[in-house]
Structure 1
Amino acid sequence: MAGHTRWKLDRERRLREGAPSHPEYDLAGLDLRLGDMIRERRRELGLTQAEVAELAGITQPALSRIEGGGGVPTLAMLDRIAKAMHTTFTITVGEHAAA
């Protein structure tokens, strides 16, 4: 979780200072936001990592890594996690026009 906090602090600093973005930094941010979405939904449902992991057919440490931004699930794994929580995740890939 320390890495996650460090990322948030670095992001805030970059935004304040208007620092240019870096592709690897942006990818790490996407990983963390995906993990945040999964963790928030799991907590809303009152489920433990162990419960979701068992229902999704993955290990609890694997789910923990995903929630912490340290692991990126395959699309198939993300689908199993969503089904385990009776939810869907919408992910946009690539550039899209601002609304």
Structure 2
Amino acid sequence: MSSFIKSTDEDVFPNIKTILRIGGTLLRTSVEAERSFFVMRHTMTFTRSTMTDERLAGLLLIHVHQSMVIQPEEISSKFITRHRRRMFEKCLLYD
């Protein structure tokens, strides 16, 4: 795009060069926002009757960031350290 703007003659096509400069600064797509709305609509349709706002937000985050690798051991150790209860005393992961 920048090479096309540079190669455009400003004397011959002044308006075209201005339009290309403005167009080069605009966002090209809104894929992330569109994907989020699609996921929300799909998720809400699927489980609309039993869903709270907190659960909906959690499901949407999981779906949008599904490429992230989740380590179950790390999650369980964080849960155990935050929720120290008697039932976790004999757990191997307990500090």
TM-score, structure 2 length as denominator?
A: 0.30
Q: Which has the higher contact order (CA 8 A, sep 6+)?
A: 1
Which structure: larger Rg? 2
TM-score, structure 1 length as denominator?
A: 0.29
